[in-house]
């Protein structure tokens, strides 16, 4: 039987994993720059965590979760996103008791959603996310947004827009929910079954319905921004004025409500119009969540964060700068004795910090030179019978084409001298 990877999953093969590592390294550097520390939480959590945090009327929870019963019958879910796990860990490990009131975390790793796979959408995908927990300040909302913009700028992504909106506080959302109910009540029987359920439980979710998205009532639905309480409006105005001061471009998108329930106040999305992704693709998104920590049993500590889809960042990055690092040395033994010696030298060179490899296939010179070429080796080290007898190796610099006979005990010094002469492959 031929096996294939499950639909919506992708193997990251060695030819692209280097580019993933570069992306990860760049993100880690930005996090260090922002004093944001890594947190690693489990890939699976109790299902109740997500239904509570993300919301049991959201598409993510009702349709997209990979849930299963473990051997003791507990319901377990592969994490569909990272915020819930970080919030759970923050409460469970009492991180709110640390002397620094504002805690800043980042994470990178696989997430799982049962969605229809398409360009930049998978069932196992990766997110890079940041959560800043502890303060309600609009300055922290803006720190998050600036960080998200820094990420796309550092990656050189073009045609990017920051969309922002406010959902307001509890009072604003109560008023808004009421307005939505009044708006949709007359057309309720024209909406899909799910929307009729949402109408009762959580009318905000009607707005991200994929079935009814073209219904005329969607177009003139009430806007969150018109129902903000005084203090919610003040918070949002401050966010906007801080962005203005920092000269960060943004558009206020009154249709932006986000598909997860934990949000309050500021929500935002980083939208790309790069044709490689398809116009209007969301590369990253986030917002404030002021009641999530207390809902999970912690103190009343607010948070704000965002996450980028790393596959989308990779697609937008394109195929340039795919320059592969080469080997320092490729060792080419000819014959059994030479191979024994090659193994010794290989181990010794690696212990000295050089990147190297040797032919293990007992091929002739021609095949071995081809490998040296494919691995972009700086040196080919040829060891034949004569070299073994004389206790030397034949070093060929693949850049200058120069060949040198080097005694075994001088190999390391020879390579170092050569590189110090400025002829390093980097």
Q: Which of 107, 268, 306, 330 binds ligand HAM (CB under 6 A)?
A: 306
- Buried b / exposed e along 125-157 (16+ C-beta atoms within 10 A): bbbbbbbbbbbbbbebbbbbbbbbbebbeebeb
Is the distance from CB of 382 to CB of 365 less than 8 angstroms? yes
Q: How far is the CB of 40 from ligand HAM (least distance, A)?
A: 16
Residue 133's DSSP bridge partners are: 103, 303
Q: How far is the CB of 120 from ligand HAM (least distance, A)?
A: 6
Question: CA 80 to CA 307: how far, in whole Å?
Answer: 12
* Ordered alpha helix ranges (H), 357-399: 365-374, 385-390
Q: Which one, 83 or 368, has the nearer CB to ligand HAM?
A: 83
Q: Which of 88, 312, 378, 418 binds ligand HAM (CB under 6 A)?
A: 312
3-state SS, residue 170: helix
Centroid of chain to Cα 100: 26
**Cβ count near 394 (within 10 Å):** 16
Q: How far is the CB of 411 from ligand HAM (least distance, A)?
A: 48
* Binding flags for ligand HAM, 94-113, as an x/- string (CB under 6 A): -------------------x
Of 260-299, binders to ligand HAM (CB under 6 A) are 260, 282-287
**Which range, of 11-19, 69-77, 300-308, 371-379, touches ligand HAM by CB under 6 A?**
300-308
Would you state the structure tokens that stand for residue 159, as one six-digit string?
């045609």
Would you state the structure tokens that stand for residue 210, as one six-digit string?
């994929």
Strands (E), 167-313: 251-252, 264-272, 281-289, 303-309
Q: How far is the CB of 60 from ligand HAM (least distance, A)?
A: 7
Of 121-160, binders to ligand HAM (CB under 6 A) are 121-122, 125, 127, 129, 131
Selection from 182, 185, 208 nearest residue 62 by Cα: 208
Q: Is residue 77 at the binding interface for ligand HAM, with CB under 6 A as the rule?
A: no
Residue 108's DSSP bridge partners are: 128
Q: Which one, 120 or 203, has the nearer CB to ligand HAM?
A: 120
3-state SS, residue 292: helix
- Please classify residue 378 by burial: count the beta carbons closer than 10 Å to its beta carbon, then call 0-12 exposed, 13-18 middle and 19+ buried: buried
Q: Which one, 66 or 419, has the nearer CB to ligand HAM?
A: 66
Q: Which one, 80 or 222, has the nearer CB to ligand HAM?
A: 80
Q: Which one, 138 or 287, has the nearer CB to ligand HAM?
A: 287
Is the distance from CB of 80 to CB of 50 less than 8 angstroms? yes
Nearest residue to ligand HAM, using CB? 309
**Which range, of 220-228, 231-239, 303-311, 334-342, touches ligand HAM by CB under 6 A?**
303-311
Q: Which one, 56 or 115, has the nearer CB to ligand HAM?
A: 115
Q: Is residue 83 at the binding interface for ligand HAM, with CB under 6 A as the rule?
A: yes
Q: Which one, 239 or 383, has the nearer CB to ligand HAM?
A: 239
3-state SS, residue 299: coil
Q: Which one, 131 or 194, has the nearer CB to ligand HAM?
A: 131
Question: CA 87 to CA 182: how far, in whole Å?
Answer: 34
Tokens 């005084």, located at residue = 230
* Binding flags for ligand HAM, 235-264, as an x/- string (CB under 6 A): -------------------------x----
Count of chain residues binding ligand HAM (CB under 6 A): 26
| DSSP one-letter code for 255 | T
The dihedral built from the CA positions of residue 251, 143, 129 and 149, taken in this order, carries a sign that is positive
Q: Which one, 265 or 396, has the nearer CB to ligand HAM?
A: 265
Cα→Cα distances 175→122, 188, 222, Å: 37, 19, 11
Q: Is residue 85 at the binding interface for ligand HAM, with CB under 6 A as the rule?
A: no
Q: Which one, 236 or 308, has the nearer CB to ligand HAM?
A: 308
Q: Is residue 168 at the binding interface for ligand HAM, with CB under 6 A as the rule?
A: no
Q: Is residue 314 at the binding interface for ligand HAM, with CB under 6 A as the rule?
A: no
Q: How far is the CB of 54 from ligand HAM (least distance, A)?
A: 8
Rounded to 10°, the helix 310-317/14-33 angle is 110
Q: Which residues bind ligand HAM (CB under 6 A)?
A: 81-83, 113, 115, 120-122, 125, 127, 129, 131, 260, 282-287, 305-309, 311-312
């Amino acid at each position: 039987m031929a096996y294939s990877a499950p639909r919506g999953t992708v193997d990251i093969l060695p030819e692209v994993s280097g580019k993933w590592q570069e992306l990860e390294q760049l993100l880690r550097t930005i996090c260090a720059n922002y004093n944001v520390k890594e947190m690693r939480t489990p890939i699976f959590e109790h299902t109740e965590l997500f239904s509570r945090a993300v919301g049991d009327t959201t598409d993510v929870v009702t349709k997209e979760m990979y849930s299963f019963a473990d051997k003791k019958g507990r319901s377990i879910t592969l994490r569909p996103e990272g915020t819930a796990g970080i919030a759970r860990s923050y409460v469970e490990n009492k991180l709110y008791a640390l002397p620094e009131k504002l805690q800043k975390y980042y994470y990178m790793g696989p997430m799982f959603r049962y969605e229809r796979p398409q360009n930049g959408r998978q069932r196992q995908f990766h997110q890079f996310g940041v959560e800043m927990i502890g303060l309600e300040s609009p300055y922290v909302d803006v720190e998050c947004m600036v960080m998200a913009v820094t990420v796309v700028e550092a990656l050189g992504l073009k045609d990017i827009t920051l969309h922002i909106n406010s959902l307001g506080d509890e009072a604003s959302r109560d008023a808004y929910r009421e307005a939505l109910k009044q708006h949709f009540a007359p057309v309720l029987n024209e909406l899909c079954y799910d929307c009729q359920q949402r109408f009762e439980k959580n009318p905000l979710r009607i707005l991200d319905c994929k079935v009814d998205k073209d219904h005329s009532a969607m177009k003139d639905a009430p806007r969150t921004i018109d129902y903000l309480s005084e203090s919610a409006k003040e918070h949002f105005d401050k966010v906007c004025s801080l962005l203005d001061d920092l000269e960060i471009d943004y558009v206020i998108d009154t249709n932006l409500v986000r598909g997860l329930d934990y949000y309050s106040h500021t929500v935002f999305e980083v939208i790309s119009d790069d044709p490689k992704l398809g116009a209007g693709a969301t590369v990253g998104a986030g917002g404030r969540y002021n009641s999530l920590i207390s809902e999970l049993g912690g103190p009343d500590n607010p948070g704000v964060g965002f996450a980028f889809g790393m596959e989308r960042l990779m697609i937008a990055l394109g195929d340039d700068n795919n320059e592969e690092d080469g080997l320092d040395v490729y060792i080419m033994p000819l014959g059994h004795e030479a191979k024994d010696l090659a193994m010794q030298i290989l181990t010794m060179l690696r212990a000295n910090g050089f990147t190297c490899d040797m032919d293990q296939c007992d091929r002739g010179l021609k095949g071995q030179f081809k490998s040296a070429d494919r691995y972009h080796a700086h040196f080919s080290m040829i060891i034949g019978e004569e070299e073994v007898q004389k206790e030397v190796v034949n070093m060929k610099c693949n850049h200058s084409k120069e060949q040198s006979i080097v005694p075994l005990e001088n190999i390391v010094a020879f390579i170092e001298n050569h590189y110090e002469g400025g002829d390093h492959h980097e």
